[in-house]
Every structure is written in structure tokens, then in C-alpha cells.
Structure 1
Amino acid sequence: MRRRLTLLVAATTGLVLLAFLVPLAVLVRQVAADRAVGRADNVVRAIVPLVGTSDSSELELSLSGASAPVTVYLPDGRVLGAPAAPTAAVRLASAAGQSFTVDGAAGREIVVPVVTAQGTAVVRTVVPRAELTRGVVKAWLVLAGLGVVLVLLGLLIADRFARTLVAPIADLSAVSHRLARAELTARASPGGPPEIREVAGALNHMAARIQDLLRHEREQVADLSHRLRTPLTALRLEAETLRDPGDAARLAAAADAIERAVTAVIREARRRGAARPRTGCDATAVVTERVAFWSVLAEDTDRGVRRELPAAPLPVAVPADDLAAALDALLGNVFAHTPDGTDFAVSLVARPAGAVLTVSDAGPGFPESATRRGVSGSGSTGLGMDIARQAAETAGGTMRVESGRDGGARVVLELAGPLTSP
């Protein structure tokens, strides 16, 4: 914008100067020529009265003292003053009895006829071309220099003016980028024209509003955690009263999982608004632990579980909590959207850029539209698939929903590998 404004002012100033200086340059040349012709004409007018009233010796003396070369052609054919052959203008002036000013190769010729008792004499002088343009080049150079100075001055003023416009806009852009990087304390400095100051105020108001909303959200999440502690404590106490140690352990583990999930939500809410470091985990360990957890429920509902997990650790650029939440969401969908007795499979395989986690089942399947946040066909919140998608995409991966070979659902999470130090 600054460059465009400067170029616009330069073009405008240049056109204005051309419209002013070109006619002025022509006028300077015309004035110089008129001044030279006027001086020569004055010399001729001073000689004319002497032609008919003075003798030849006095006329010769006057011609020799003239400031310009003057030639007098007498009626008897004699030529006094500067020697020069009669020209066509001289002959025409003698015959017609009229004065002429003619442009020739040598310059501008001035001829004036004088009627005497012996006949018509002609007084002639020539203004050289150098005299017609004396001082013109110097004047043109002065005008050109003045034009350059005016253009440079206009560019300087335009640059200063453009800077006052661009600086507030650049500040707005920088603050916008800082807000996009979750630096919610960034504020724009109101400056520049009223319109830009209004935009800066609106941006600051929006940033403050976002801060208030996030603060309110964190307070809501903290309040949710406080409300859940009492039911979780009661659930643990209830688990301790169960006679079957296995059931008690599973119930306690479920309560611990809920508490971990709530704690993760609170931690995520508290660090929201700050840059989140990318951490990784061992996908083999996380998937193995979560499949083992869900296998107990699968056994109770007569579901077969097929596992294809690597024996070696498989690092990925997804935090352990996020990967566990994503897998829980996918397996939870299997139990929620397929009838009891439906088998499912979980596979984890390595790839050059990370790993591929696949969850498939032998159920009726579901459309790809179910991956949209809040979309569910069974009355649930529809957030499970979105949790899995965010876990993959946040770490640079992707999620795909496909149809399995037996017609069931097949969800593929492509997980990026861990970051390496440069």
C-alpha cells in the first residue's frame, strides 16, 4: 500500500509538472527570441532616421558604432555597413515599401525600407540563431531541476503520509497474527485515520471478549470437576462393597478413567490460549492397555476381539491421553451402534511417517456424515468421532471412515511420527 501511494503521488506530480513546465519552457524560448529581435529592431530603428538625413560618411560612422551588424542598401546601389549581398527580402522590401521579418538559415532577418529623395533605401540586420536562444538552455535546466526537486519533495511527503497509514495497518496485522497464535493479551494501538482506529478498537474488543469467554469456560469446567468428585467418591465406595473382587476392580478402574478424563479436560481448558507443545507416546502401549480394558466388556456382550498389535514400541506424535480418548471413542461407538455379539478388530501397524490405527466391526456400518461434530444417528452427542479426528489432525494425521469387507464400519487413523530434533 505504501508503495502504491508513493507511485500514485509520483505519477500525479509528474503529470502536473509536465502540464506546467512544458508550456513554460516554450514561453521561455519565445521570450528569449522576442528579446533578441526587439534589441535588433531598436538598432535598426535608430539607423533609419539617418539614412535620409545624413551623408554617407556620417551614416558609415553610425553603422560602425551600432551594437549589431546593420547593412544599408542605398538607391544608387551602394552598400554601407556590414557587407552582405541583397536578399529576396531586401528586394521585396524595396519594391513593396514594407518592413519584413523573415526566418532564414542564418537567423531572423529584419528589413526596413526608407524612402529618400533619390529612391528607396533598405536597412537590414540579421539576428543569429544563437542570439534567439541565448539563455534558453540554462532556463530549461533550471526548470528541469525545479521539476525534479518538486517530484522528490512530493515523493517524500507521500512516503511520510503513506507511512502514517500503513503503520497502523501493519500493527493490526501483527496483532491479528498474535491473536491467531493464541496470544490473547495482544492489543492494537489505536492510530491513523478514524476508520483504522475504529477497526483497532473492534479488534481489541473482540480479543477481550474472547478472553472473557475462555475464562468463563474454564470456570465452568472447574465447576464441573468439583460437582463430579462427590459422585466419583460414592462410586469408589460402592465398588469397595462389591463381593466380586474383579467387578470391584473394574468399577474402580472405570471411576479412575472418568476422573482422568475430567482432569484432562480441566488441564486442556487451563492451557487453552497458550501454545500447546507437541508431545508423543508409545502407541503400542496405549492401544494395548485400552483394548485390554474394552475386552472385558466385549466378553460380557459376547463380542469377539481380533488384535493386530506390534510387539515393539511404536512412537507417534499424539499425547497418550489424546490417543486413549480417540480409541475409547471409536470402541465406544462399536458397543453403542452394533448389537451384542458383533465382533470387532483393532490393528496398529507402522508406516514410514508414523503409524496407522484401524478399528473395524461387523455391524451395519454408518455414513461418513457421522464424522461431523454433533452428528449422531442413535441419540448420542455425536462427539466421539470428532474426538478421534481431532486427535489425529492435531498431530498432523488424518482420519478416514470406510466400509469394511463384511459391510461394517472401518475407521482409519493415520498418526504422524514423533518430531525429531534438527
Structure 2
Amino acid sequence: MRQRVMRVAVMAVLVALLLLATPLTIGIQTSFFANELDELERVALGAAVHVPTQFAVGGHMDLYARERGIDVGVYDLSGRRRDGSGPRKADAVTQEARNGLVIRGRGDDQLVVAVPLSTEERVIGTVRAASGTAEVWRHIVLAWLALAGLALVALATAVVVARRQARTLSAPLEALSAKAGAVANGDLTARAEGSAIAEIDQVARTQNTMVEQLTRWLEHERHFTSDASHQLRTPLAGLQLGLEAAAADPHADLRAAVTEALEQARHLHRTVDEVLRLARATPRPGGPTAVRPAAAVVEGVERRWHGTFAAEGRRLRLAVEPGGEALRIPDRTAEQVLDVLLDNALRHGRGTVEITVREMGGATAVDVADEGSLTLDQRTVFRRGATTSASGTGIGLTLAREMAETAGGRLTLARRTPTTFTLLLPVTEPPPSQE
């Protein structure tokens, strides 16, 4: 990445220098030759001023001192040099100046400027100034070398800046790649850090969002396995105990045993459906369509658990307050939550357990209370794994709360002593087929 950025930056600078240096080199050459011709013209004009008017009839001439490296000569109309230095016979440039114009040209490795001599609006001769091109080329080459030096300095500066910019651009991408590699290796806590580059920062935020969603889904899958085993354990154990008891007693009523086993199997089927529904539930709650009277739902739960509590020498009571008989609630959700609460009361509570159904401001409240005392606070008791012990996994109350919330309800710890949990469920109207 860094090498690629540097190559791109250096190539861009090279192209820019080439596009800039080409016209500059041509301009330097043209400018130096033009300046030299201007200097020759100045010298020729200065010499023309000193040519006397008697020049036309062969009078004496006294040219001013010539500048070093410049040949200055005076030529008559026949092309013969009368004074100064230069070729004895006028060259083409000098002869062309007899037309009354200042002529510039090149010939025989020289720059030549010819200026006409006029008197009374009549050309009587020409002044020729010439200098070698070698000196001009020496100045041009020196200027080109200076330009090349500046280009090298610019290129070196561009390389330094490109390296710094490449480091600035590649460092966040390398860090982002490292975080992605860590996630690929199983570290779902790795999060990409922000950078000063908006586009890379957006990619980092997108990756973090993706990892967070992936983490939630993986956690959801792990929880589903634990929840399913937790919820299926109790009905399976009841089904197994019932069948074993019937098989061990030769005088047992097999029809009653089969009927009870079928009821346990139906409950197990409903449990599987409810756990699968919870696994597919979205954050937006949506209650199931199957509803029954709250009293009937709670009575069915009480019948299933009555024998289990009696075997432990404990009592299970049911109370329905006035107005609670007609309330309809999601039956499967209520059954699963009550199963968790009763299992929790059997394992961790004491004494008599009482289930109370009551109407509460347009909602159905189901209280499950025992005679025990709870030391954990409201937040800790519903945290997954917070109450893990030898007799439990610590996920039951968490699962119960999640089930209640997916049905649009709520599960709370109403009192610590005596321990009382309250399940609030919205009152659901019965389907048209049931009215």
C-alpha cells in the first residue's frame, strides 16, 4: 500500500515537472538568444551614431570602442567593409539591411544584427554587429542545470511528502486489516479505531457495526442452545418419571399413565415451539395469536406442578382475584414463564408457593410468591449466569424475562421477602373464531 501510494505520488510529480520543464527549457533558450540579439542591436545602433556623414564620400570614421566578444563593422553599399571587424564582404544579413530595415539573423555559429546607415532619408551603408553562439549556449546550459537542480529538489521534496502521506494513508488501513484478522481468528472483542480520514473512518465504523451484529447473533445462538436445554429439561423429566412410575407399578392404570404422558408430550411440543419462536424473535415485540383465559392457563400450569411440589412436601396454591377470570393472555408464553418461576421457587424458595392472577390497569398480572428471601437486587437476579449454582444454570430468569418481553410483557421482582415475581402481560382480545 505504501509503495503504491509513493509510486503514484512520484509519477504525478514527474509528469508535472516534465510538463513544466519542457516549455521552461525552450523559453530559456529563446530568451537568451533574444537577449543577445537585443544586445547586438544596441551595440550596432550605438556604432551607427558614431559614423560621420562623410562616410558616403570616403571620409574618416572613428568608431567608439567595441565591447568584448562582439565584432562591429561598417559596410558601404557595395558590401565592402570600411572599418571595424567582421567579414571583408557583407554577408546576407548585412546586405538585406540596405533596404532600410534592422535585420537579425544567424550564420556561421554567430548571431548577427545589421542596422542601416541613413542620411537625408537615404541609406548610405550598414553597421554589422555579431557575436559567437558558444557563449550564449554556455549561459543557456548553466540555466538548464539550475532548472534541473530545482527539479531534483522538488522531486526529493515530493518523495519525502509522499512517504509521509503514504504512512498516513496506510497506517489506518493496516490497523483496520489487523482488527479484521483478529475478528477472523475469533476475537469478537476487536474493534477498529477511528482515523483522521473520513472514508477510512466510515469503513471502520461499518466493520465495527458488522462485528457487533455478528457477536449478537453468535451470542443469540449460544443462548438458544442453553435456553432450549433449560426449557426442555423439566417436561422431559416429568414425562420420564411418569412413564417409569407406571412401568414399575404392576397395578397402575396404564390408560391414565398414557393420558398423562400425552399431556406431557403436548406440553413438550408447545415448549419447543415457544423456544423456537423466541430464537426467531426480533427486537420489536410481537405477541403470538394463541390466547386463552388467564385462569385456565394458570390452572393447567398448577396441575402439572402440583405433584412435583407435593413430592417435596410443599404446597402449591392458586388464587384468581375478581375480574381476573375473563382476562385473556398469550398461553404459551405464560406457560413457559410460569414454568421457569415455579422451577426457580422449587429449587431456591421455601414453604408454600402461591400463584395469583389479577387485573392491573388494562394488563394481566400473575404473581408467583414463596416464603423464601432473596438477597440479589433487581438487576442482578435477571442477569444471565448471575445465580448459577449446583442446582441450576442461572439462565432461567433471564430466559423468562426475554420470553415476556417478546410477547410485549414484562417480568419483575416485586418483593425480595417474601420472594415475589410479577409477570405482566397485555390483555389480548380473542380471535373472531373464538368469540
Shorter chain as normaliser: what TM range? 0.3 to 0.5
Bigger Cα Rg: 2
The TM-score normalised by the length of structure 1 is 0.48
The TM-score normalised by the length of structure 2 is 0.47
